[in-house]
Amino acid sequence: MKTTLGLTLALLSLAASAQSRLGRQTSETFQQLAELTGSQSFALFASSLALSGNTLVIGTPAATPPDGCVACGVVYVYTAVNGDWTNLQLTATLTQSSGQSQGGFGGAVAISGNTVVVGGYDSSSELGAAYVYINPSGTVTENAELTTSVPGAPFDSISIDGNTIVAGSPLAPVGSERELGAAYVYVEPPDGWENMTETAELVANDESTECDFGNSVSISGSTVAVGAPRLGLAYVFVKPAHGWNGTQGQTAELMPSNGTKAAIFGISVSLSGDTVAVGAPEETVGTKQEVGAVYIFSEPSHGWPKTMTQTAELTAARGTAGSLMGYSVAISDGMLLAGAPYARSGQGVAYAFSEPPGGWQNEAAGKEIVAADGAPNNSFGDVVALGGGVLGVSAPYWPDGGLGPDGAVYVFGDTH
């Protein structure tokens, strides 16, 4: 794999400190620390990203793995050597033991501690599948395969926190209803991960066919967030007192206060503690269409209500029509990162927001982050990842905008 590491260490020329609607300035300064690029054209390098500690995981669902299985998908695991993100080492190449072409392996990835999980599809059994890797090193296949108890659709979204994995399948059947969408919870057995079916199934009480429920999922502690962008809704599920089990309906339904469902609200969700971030990339801001917005929902002191509108709405201070900010979101420890992959003629921009001391509030702000070698139609910001002050941003159509894309992932650090 071709890599470009630590070659672009000049401080990015970022926009001046953005002003919030209340006048607050953001003070982060981000430096591009590394750039990783794919080696196989049209392999969909950087279709998914995950970041935890000193580890970066990159999904490439159309790549050909070392065994020659054409378009079977590969996931690459990089480690920052001694915590130095300018020195990234490829430590693992993940493949699936069944080796299925165009099964979507790597279209979704997640990591928690030393456990990596990859979304895909087991075509031999016609089951959505998630593949678990424990402390992977070298070229390896999965330690365990997690599937659904009935034939279904691929897992398009994945999230993990500790010993619990959530997988979203927006075209999964629910009962006799086809393509209703579901999210599946898997809890690690006492003796470790093993081949298994779901521990619990999460469904929305008011979902309908082809609503894309499960298009996005996120888990933090005992709480799960699931997006249904065709409904323009997101849902919160809280683990019952008796634990995850059976089929469970939502605890809360999240929606924007303007009631607009055409903004594909829910195409991206991210959960950190008691705070949910939901992207609405086709949101109109003022008179500008499809500028995009991210909505923040903070759990009230008395717990999640049955229905809830946002705590705050975040928009870009200099957002332009058609930018689609919120197409991707990541939130962690009071920082939020939102991708706007169609900004600047499709070159793309990512926006970083920090939670004010008094909690999230409406803001037209965000620190602009761009690629040092960005070009039109690279779609920088298509996927974002965040952890420990380190930012990961994908540009799947780097370098030429789709004519023969290799794809790229950029790593940034906060130098403030």
Task: Give the pLDDT of the chain (416 residues) as one tens digit per residue.
Answer: 333 333 333 333 333 333 333 334 445 689 999 999 998 988 999 999 999 999 999 999 999 998 888 989 999 999 999 999 999 999 999 999 987 776 789 999 999 999 999 999 888 888 899 999 999 999 999 999 999 998 888 999 999 999 999 999 999 988 877 788 999 999 999 999 999 999 999 999 987 777 899 999 999 999 999 999 999 999 999 999 999 999 999 999 999 999 878 899 999 999 999 999 999 999 999 999 999 999 999 999 999 999 999 999 999 999 999 999 999 999 999 999 999 999 999 999 999 999 999 999 999 999 999 999 999 999 999 999 999 889 999 999 999 988 777 999 999 997 65
Looking only at the bridges linking them, the beta strands covering 108-112 and 48-52 are unpaired
Q: Which of 406, 316, 347, 317 is nearest to 4 (CA)?
A: 406
- CA dihedral of 356, 362, 365, 371, whole degrees rounded to 10: 90
d(CA 399, CA 405): 6
Give the model's pLDDT for residue 44. 93
Cα separation, 199 vs 186, in Å, equals: 5
The maximal CA–CA distance of the chain, rounded, in angstroms, is 57
Query: What's the rounded Cα separation, in Å, for the pair 311 and 318?
Result: 22
Spatial separation of the C-alpha atoms in residues 416 and 30, rounded to whole Å: 8
274-313 burial: b if 16+ Cβ within 10 Å, else e: bbbbbbbbbbbbeeeebbbbbbbbbbeeeebeeebebbbb
What is the per-residue pLDDT for 146?
A: 97
299 vs 252: CA distance, rounded Å: 10
What pLDDT was estimated at residue 9? 30
What pLDDT, on the 0 to 100 scale, is given for residue 416? Answer: 59
Amino acid symbol at 370? V
pTM, rounded to two decimals: 0.92
What is the amino acid identity at position 130?
Answer: A
Tokens for 209? 């066919």
Q: What pLDDT sits at residue 415?
A: 64
C-alpha to C-alpha distance for 255 and 233, rounded to whole angstroms? 5
Q: Is there a contact between 269 and 254 (Cβ–Cβ < 8 Å)?
A: no
Three-state SS at 174: strand
Count Cβ atoms below 10 Å from residue 194 Cβ, excluding itself: 12
Is the domain spanning 1-37+258-416 CATH 2.130.10.130? The answer is yes
Give the pLDDT confidence score for residue 27 in this predicted structure.
54
Q: Cα–Cα distance between 371 and 340 in angstroms, integer? A: 13
Contacts of 171 by beta carbon, 8 Å cutoff, 6+ apart? 152, 153, 154, 179, 181, 210
Q: Return the number of other C-beta atoms located less than 10 Å from residue 249's C-beta.
A: 12
Query: What are the extents of the domains in the chain?
Result: 1-37+258-416
Q: Say what the pLDDT of residue 3 is.
A: 38
Query: Distance (Å, rounded) from C-alpha 186 to C-alpha 344?
Result: 41
Antiparallel, parallel or unpaired: β 138-140 and 88-94: parallel
pLDDT of residue 210: 75
Alpha-carbon distance of 131 to 171, in angstroms, equals 19
H helix runs in 159-236, sequence order: none
pLDDT tens, residue by residue, 284-329: 999 999 999 999 999 999 999 999 999 999 999 999 999 999 999 9
Cα–Cα distance, 215 to 232 (Å, whole number): 12
The helix or strand, by DSSP H or E, that contains position 345, with its residue range, turns out to be: helix 343-346
| Measured torsion, CA atoms of residues 408, 350, 357, 161, in degrees rounded to the nearest 10 | -40
Query: Cβ-count burial of 64 within 10 angstroms (0-12 exposed, 13-18 middle, 19+ buried)?
Result: middle
